[in-house]
Amino acid sequence: MAKKRPQTKAQRPQPAGAAGADGAIPVVGGREPCPCGSGRRYKACHGRAAAHAVTELVQRPFEGLPGECDWVALRELVPAATAELTLKDGLPEGVPSVTLATVLPMAWPALRRDDGSVLIGLQNDTASGDISRDLADTLQRALAAEPGTPVQGRRAPADGPRLQELLAADAPFEPVVHSGFEFWVPDAENATPEVTASLERANAAAIPTVRLSGVDAAYWCETPDKNHLRWVMPHPEERLLDALARLHAQGRSSLGEGTRLVGSFRAHGLTVPVWDLPSEVRAEDVEKPAAEFAERLAAALAVEEPLTPEERRARGGLTNRQVTLS
């Protein structure tokens, strides 16, 4: 279950005392008296809530964003991909576009290009427990950065906005998966040696990946021994595992001959079932089986009866192979 999210500044209880004009408690040194007038040191009073808000892990940081499952996939599964972002208040003057990227050269959190466009890196380490708040802070700083400069990482303010407050809720989120990272450098001939070297290293490490077109947030990838399909699903974990167990017990959980549902993992509050595929099975080969599986899964999710003994054994096998990435 997701932990209770940190309260915003407006929601936190505010004892009477020397609050700011807007009712907020000013930030002071940890050993100083708390400005709220409680008589305790700041770090043991309102400073504790501020520190907790920064460090508490938000289990579903992308919840409420269009394409939450694809946000998770681009964060954890996909080497090279981009997606155009639509800001709620429109683009500032001088910023022609804002693009989310899985990673950027030199592991920059963000980059304001020479033409004013903004690139935001998704797979960077973040300083707090709320990826959404950290990314929103990076985005705001990138929009204000000088063209031609990268944006460095920092700890986002505890009361800063989240992506859900900055991005348009009704705009589609449509990832484009790339075979490499050439999107980093529109003009490769003029790239710096550091960026060129970073590009070469990233391309060498990238696993071939394809996003299926017939179902949402399912990604085929190629590895030396076998291929895989990893499918980020939005359903509540317990219901999804029950449904997968029902299909597994019936022998209806595969995606065709030689394929096998091998387990799942958790990532950012969502469950990601994983199938092993023979090395000769390409992404286009699983488009139809995946669409058919989606129909079987929908029917299994609608079943209300308790699991049978065989289904419980199947569920145990699936959960024993489950891991948590984040």
DSSP calls for 153-213: --PPPTTS--HHHHB-TTS----EE-SSSGGG-SSGGG--HHHHHHHHHHHHHPPPEEE-S
| Structure confidence at residue 32 (pLDDT) | 74
pLDDT score of 108 more than 80: yes
On the CB side of 118, CA atoms within 13 Å amount to 28
For 176-269, where are the E strands, in sequence order?
A: 176-177, 209-211, 218-222, 227-231, 260-267
CB atoms within 10 A of CB 97: 14
Least confident of 73-82, 128-137, 152-161: 152-161
Question: 202, 181 in Cβ contact below 8 A?
Answer: yes
Q: Report CA 88 to chain centroid distance, whole Å.
A: 19
For 115-268, where are the E strands, in sequence order?
A: 118-121, 149-151, 176-177, 209-211, 218-222, 227-231, 260-267
Q: Which residue has the tokens 């429109």?
A: 90
Question: 324, 265 in Cβ contact below 8 A?
Answer: yes
- Which of 20-29, 161-170, 317-326 ranks highest by mean pLDDT? 161-170
Q: Strand 323-324 to strand 260-267: parallel, antiparallel, or no bridges (unpaired)? A: parallel
Rounded to two decimals, the pTM is 0.82
Q: How far apart are CA 280 and CA 222, in angstroms?
A: 10
DSSP class of residue 308? P
Continuous segment of H or E residues that includes residue 76: helix 68-76
DSSP class of residue 106? G
Q: Which residue has the tokens 């427990």?
A: 129
- Both tokens of 1, joined, read 């279950």
Question: Tell me: the pLDDT tens digits for 50-103?
Answer: 555 556 889 999 999 999 999 999 999 999 999 999 999 999 999 999 999 999
Provide mean pLDDT across the span 275-281: 96
* Average pLDDT across the chain, whole number: 88
CATH 2.60.120 fits domain 209-324: no
Continuous segment of H or E residues that includes residue 9: none
Q: How far apart are CA 187 and CA 48, in angstroms?
A: 48
Contacts of 28 (CB under 8 A, 6+ apart): 34, 35, 42, 47
Question: Tell me: the pLDDT tens digits for 210-252?
Answer: 999 999 999 999 998 899 999 999 999 999 999 999 999 999 9
Question: Tell me: the pLDDT tens digits for 176-208?
Answer: 999 999 999 877 667 788 888 888 999 999 999
Question: Tell me: the pLDDT tens digits for 300-324?
Answer: 999 999 999 999 999 999 988 777 7
Q: How far apart are CA 318 and CA 242, in angstroms?
A: 10
Rg (CA), the chain: 23
Question: 98, 83 in Cβ contact below 8 A?
Answer: no
Q: What percent of the chain has pLDDT over 70?
A: 85
Work out the burial of residue 125: count CB atoms within 10 Å of its CB; fewer than 13 is exposed, 13-18 middle, 19 or more buried: exposed
Q: How far apart are CA 188 and CA 175, in angstroms?
A: 23
Each residue of 237-259: b (16+ CB within 10 Å) or e? Answer: beebbbbbbbbbbeeebbbbeeb
| Structure confidence at residue 300 (pLDDT) | 98
| Structure confidence at residue 10 (pLDDT) | 33
Cα 120–122–127 angle (5° rounding)? 100
Residues of the chain with CATH 3.30.1460: 209-324
Q: How far apart are CA 235 and CA 274, in angstroms?
A: 15
Instruction: Give the residue among 12, 2, 179, 184 at the shortest CA–CA distance from 105.
Output: 184
Secondary structure class of 245 (helix, strand, coil): helix
| Structure confidence at residue 56 (pLDDT) | 80
| Structure confidence at residue 4 (pLDDT) | 38
| Structure confidence at residue 186 (pLDDT) | 78
Q: Which residue has the tokens 């029950």?
A: 242
